Amino acid sequence: MKKFLVLLTGVGATFALLPMAWAAPGDGLAGTSHDFSGISNPATGLCTFCHTPHNAMSQELLWNHTETVTTFSWVDPATTGGTTYPSFDGDTYKGSTSKCLSCHDGSVAIGDIGWWNGGVPGAPILNSFVTGGYQVGAGGDMTGNHPVTMPFPLGGAANTYNGVTNGASSLISGWQADPEALGIRLFTDDGSGNITAGSTAGQTGIECTSCHDVHNGPNTQDVFFLLGMLGGNTTDYICVKCHDK
């Protein structure tokens, strides 16, 4: 597979090379924009920027990348259909969205990983940022971005997630009753802040990874790791996998 190279830049004018390309949707992680393998000496592996088998920063997912400490919120609008957009803290929230934003909010170096190849990485990788990376929630402002960490009205009923319940004025009929049947990933909040994959009646919500498969797995259908298509008017179209329009 051919790979294209762009520069990583960071503190102290350090440089490294990063493979950037787009493998075909569904073809796996290698060759995608989430493939950081081989960018330093000694070379990192395909998984190491996010996970490590030993000495991980967090037992959850054996997470290996420093998490953002930003608090995220939506400013305009604060509610839709009576459902409040909740805030969440990047370093304490247990949903997958906090993992995504630990790279994509721009506050933490892509190479700020804790452990690999028997030690802590050196400055050329630790201080590196990807130039031109897609940024979401800079400074904690999620305004203009699709809501996440939000309840989804699974089964045509109100659900509670991340401390928020679908508002009484929400048009429940405007959502698909079962997005999982259409390939969307839903999540369960047990009410104590523990969030796990899969839906549970009354406790279901959405995260960034509801629509994006960061590993470009077999259910990925389009660019941006989407679990649906960028265009169209059937239920292959990413928007109508959740919204019944």
CA distance 163 to 146: 18
141-183 pLDDT, tens digit per residue, is 999 999 999 999 999 999 999 999 999 888 888 999 999 999 9
107-116 pLDDT, tens digit per residue, is 988 878 877 6
User: Please, which pLDDT band fits residue 5 given cuts at 50, 70 and 90?
Assistant: very low
Rg (CA), the chain: 19
Residue 225 has pLDDT above 50, yes or no: yes
**Amino acid type, 116:** W
Beta bridge partners of 89: 71
Q: Is 150 helix (H, G, I), strand (E, B) or coil?
A: strand
Which of these ranges, 75-79, 175-179, 188-192, 237-241, has the smallest mean pLDDT? 75-79
- Percent of the chain at pLDDT above 90? 58
Average pLDDT, the chain: 85
54-86 pLDDT, tens digit per residue, is 888 888 899 988 899 999 999 877 888 889 999
Q: Is 151 helix (H, G, I), strand (E, B) or coil?
A: strand
